[in-house]
Amino acid sequence: MGNDGRGAFGCWSRLIAHTPLSSVSSRKDFAQDPARRLHRFEKEYSQLLQTWRNSSNLAHDVDAAEHIEIRLQELTRILGDESQRPLPHPCIAFAAAKQIYMPVAKIATSSFNEWIVKEAVLFFATLVDGEEEPFAENEVFSASLTNLLVRITGANSIRLGVDTEIRVVELAFNITTKIRLNPDILPAWFKSRQDGPQEKEPEDHDKFTGRTQKQDFPLFYLLMDHIHHDGKVGDFARTGLLYVIEAASNSVLLEQWIVESDLSTLMATGLGALYSQLSRKLVIDHPANDLPPILAFSDYQHPKSSYEVISSCTFELQSHLDTFLSHLLFWQDVLNHCRSIEVKSTLLEHFQVIFLQQLLYPSLLESSDIDGGSSVAVLTYLRRILESLEHPDMINLILHYLLALPDIVAAVPSDALDVVSAARKRKSLDLATMMASKGEAAADPLLFNLVDLILACLRSHSHQTIYVTLQLVSVILKKHHRYAVTTLLYTEGVMGPSTHRIWGAHQQEIDYIMSLAGTIGGQDNFNEVYENIQKDTLVKLENHPCSIKLVTPKTSTNNHKLPAIPDSLPSAPRDVRSHTLRPDDPLLNIILDRLQTFFVNPVETNLALTETISDLSVCGFMHLEGWFLRHPNNYTFEEDDEGPPLPEPPLDPESPEYIEYKQGQSMKECRRRPKWVQAKLPRLLIILHTLCEQVVSYRHTVPRFDDLLQQRREAFQIADSAVPIPFPTRTKNPLSHSPARTSSPVIERAVVEENRNTSRERPSGLEGFAQRIFSELSTPSRSGSPRGRKETKRSSSDRSTPVPFAGRDSPVSNFDTPLRGSAQSGLGIRSFSPGSMSNGPPWENRGRDDAVANQAKAFQAIDQSILARRVGIPTIRPQDGERVAPIPLDFSKTQQQQLSARSIVDGDGAPPTHRSTGGDDGQSESVPVSEDGTTESTPVEEITVSVSHVLTNVIVFQSFLLELASIVQVRAGLFDEVRHL
């Protein structure tokens, strides 16, 4: 009895746990036996039908719904397990023969239970993934699955969870994958509602009525409804829709259906809706805990944001912008996958009319830099659009419209009477009728185009507007230069190599630019820095889109022609040809106007300025002569500049000796160095020279200028290192590491791009880092430097030696207008001789240590005061031998307000032309002085910045000079633009 009782108890336990009576090994044998597996499958299916029929309402019958869910899960498990086992597969064959998917779809659609819906979707997905039975080709199967998908995603369906929604869209995507691999199964999923049979022959195409019905292709609209979603749902939907559009190349009927469908309208309006969600007013900012070092060592202040004016580093803006750009890239993917010209034309037409004309251009037209940042917003969005896109038709459509380029009417194709073309024409007419019904006159770029907006914004008083405009110009020059040649830039053609500079002038101009960089001085491995800059310049030149024809090697005389840019629109501009920038170009001169105030500009503005000038000069077809370097027509030579005499020419002009003689004579002429006339230099070189003179003036007026400049350079090197810096714990969450950057961090403009990471507003770790760098590097011995380097006694000439890579004729004083002052004029560094700290009794040493510490603190306080001192743009006078009044070391508030940075006085005691007055905000005003010594009534505001800000800009300027020299040098070899003969 005991044994029988235990056996009965074990049997009931297995029944309650829904486990078979056999052991684990027996269950494996059961799964491997096809007959027993089929018996189990039929039993599960029978129980499923019985439970469904016995339940009057699954939405309220919880027990029945749970039982059905378990049965569906078991059916799916058996099918999935069987598909991985060797033949035969009786369960899959039973499912196909009995069409069990029909009641499964009905059960799921009537249950209003998400768990049942999810299991039904997994059941259908298992059948679709199988390779044995062609379920995807079965029209009954497609009808059942389509009805299920439409019902569970319709307006009256239950709200599906994220996981279930992913399963639904993934199932639809799997079907489109089947269609892509096997176009013959398309008729099972796509049916046009026509009278009569469907034929693929062209003679039957005219039966298509042109009226698109949603029930023709429900799978298509299911994917369309989810393309704007984030995550896996959006990815599956967008990729599946791409596969459907790609399949249109194999079905003329589907191609015509897509043309007349709502695809183009829904995509254009969806893109417009996402663009409308972006903030209308924007300020460019960086998270307080991730401020780039180059901004932390300047007068950078976080701009104010409000409810209307959004910061660029907020999570909300970045999320909306990423969503908009992802949908824009989906447009690009659609055009890349679409092989139908008619579908492409329909999409592009709706893109222009609905998005460009109705949204993007009006937002540019209505923007302003005085209403809280609307210009900053729309210019930033346009820049991100042009940065993201690569498809030539989309780029051409945007820039052709915004730049008001002339339209070119394409020739009428021979198959213009094709029904697909007729369908597109009807769609275009419907689009024009829809836009006319709004009764709003569209703005015309012919009256105010993107060039007008760019020039107006560059003249703005808002540095944020100037900054984002320069970024936009840089993108256009860098990626879409052929659109800028005839619109944004005033250019003129260059014919033949006769306009190239000669070798002597080329060497002279490189030496001149390098000597300007050497005037700033500093202690660093400038040879290595310059080599790295040259490598970056070479990559930049080679990667420019216009340079492929110049840098691609000609492998043979029968070399095939380089592929043309695959533009399908007839209005695309032609390829760029050899040209140069006219010196009176408005864009160039506005940029040079901004360059004149370099040292008082915001650092991010200077980074954008230097980037734009660099982008102007990297195109292989853009010649530098005339606007950057001297034009050969302006060369003048010294009369006695003959050089060593050549041998007597041979008498026979046809002899090889005579030809060699002529080549030697030409080479000698090309190696001559033209006379350097400062007044005849291009404006860019004149401004660079003036800025170097301002650096010399700062060296005279700012105490310890060279030492502070070297400390700033070392501070950037420390910030650039990957070694974590232990910052002072000013905040609860100090910056724990320094971001890894390249070997030349100062000229890396990417550090001021909008940071996409959100963060809470708190004091910047780098701001504390900057204060620590100032305090440690400004002490006399700098023993507490994070780099652990001991300071040795150096002379001022050692610290200010010009860069070692300058040529023998490189000093600026060799030219006829040298810089006033010398790089060796910096003040000596404060250091302690070894004898001043001789050994003695411990109490005497303690006294000396205290004295040294007190002296170090005093020097540190002085350096901090110097760095905080506000200065303006120095006045550069043409006379030589001027005397400079340095900034005194009395930093009382009264003297700071009374003393202007423009402290250069006349050497002959002549009265100054301006008198400075202090303002309440630290800004000084330059008041004109009349001939009788009285001040005039109209004050002129002078921009002042801290000495710390000037030091950072000086380092940026020196790096810019090295970059310009590398551009001139690398271009000469890469594009063969220097004449040797």
Per-residue pLDDT of 289-316, as tens digits, reads 888 989 998 999 998 888 888 899 999 9
Answer whether 479's CB lies under 8 Å from 386's CB: yes
Answer whether 857's CB lies under 8 Å from 776's CB: no
Contacts of 360 (CB under 8 A, 6+ apart): 275, 382, 398, 402
Distance CA 214, CA 142 (A): 16
Answer whether 534's CB lies under 8 Å from 970's CB: yes
Residue 665 in this model has a pLDDT that exceeds 50: yes
Higher pLDDT, 413 or 83: 83
Distance CA 476, CA 612 (A): 10
For the segment 935-950, what is each residue's pLDDT rounded down to a tens digit?
444 444 688 999 999 9
Q: What is the DSSP letter of 318?
A: H
Which candidate, 190, 197, 203, 199, places its Cα nearest to that of 254?
190
- The reported pLDDT for the residue numbered 876 is 73
Place 906 in a pLDDT band, splitting at 50, 70 and 90: very low
Contacts of 558 (CB under 8 A, 6+ apart): none
- The reported pLDDT for the residue numbered 13 is 45
CA 405 vs. chain centroid, Å, equals 26
- Quick check: helix, strand or coil at residue 121? helix
889 CB burial (10 A radius; 0-12, 13-18, 19+): exposed
Answer whether 221's CB lies under 8 Å from 214's CB: yes
Distance CA 951, CA 946 (A): 9
Chain mean pLDDT for the chain: 75
Residue 180 in this model has a pLDDT that exceeds 80: yes
Place 431 in a pLDDT band, splitting at 50, 70 and 90: low
Using DSSP bridges, classify how beta strands 579-581 and 491-493 pair: parallel, antiparallel or unpaired.
antiparallel
Of 359-363, 840-844, 953-957, least confident by mean pLDDT is 840-844
For the record, the structure tokens of 967 come out as 């551009």
Q: Which stretches does DSSP call E strand in 499-565?
A: 501-502
Highest mean pLDDT among 230-234, 779-783, 785-789, 877-881: 230-234
Of 393-397, 615-619, 829-833, 955-959, least confident by mean pLDDT is 829-833
- The arithmetic mean of pLDDT across residues 927-937, rounded, is 41
- The arithmetic mean of pLDDT across residues 348-375, rounded, is 87
- The reported pLDDT for the residue numbered 644 is 55
User: Is the pTM higher than 0.85?
Assistant: no
Distance CA 940, CA 915 (A): 10
Distance CA 901, CA 887 (A): 8
- The arithmetic mean of pLDDT across residues 389-417, rounded, is 75
Neighbouring C-alpha atoms within 13 Å toward the C-beta of 14:
11
Highest mean pLDDT among 191-195, 209-213, 514-518, 792-796: 514-518
Using DSSP bridges, classify how beta strands 914-918 and 924-928 pair: parallel, antiparallel or unpaired.
antiparallel
CA 914 vs. chain centroid, Å, equals 45
Answer whether 828's CB lies under 8 Å from 858's CB: no
For the record, the structure tokens of 173 come out as 């995507």
Which candidate, 180, 179, 48, 187, places its Cα nearest to that of 123?
48
Answer whether 753's CB lies under 8 Å from 380's CB: no
For the segment 584-636, what is each residue's pLDDT rounded down to a tens digit?
999 999 999 999 999 999 999 999 999 999 999 999 999 999 999 998 888 88
The number of beta carbons lying within 10 Å of the beta carbon of residue 583 is 15
Using DSSP bridges, classify how beta strands 940-941 and 924-928 pair: parallel, antiparallel or unpaired.
antiparallel
Contacts of 530 (CB under 8 A, 6+ apart): 803, 805, 962, 965, 966
Q: Phi and psi at residue 160, in whole multiples of 5°?
A: -85, 145
Distance CA 828, CA 704 (A): 7
Contacts of 91 (CB under 8 A, 6+ apart): 37, 38, 41, 78, 79, 82
Residue 795 in this model has a pLDDT that exceeds 50: no
- Quick check: helix, strand or coil at residue 193? coil
> Which ranges in 366-502 belong to alpha helices (H)?
374-388, 392-402, 419-437, 450-458, 463-479, 481-484
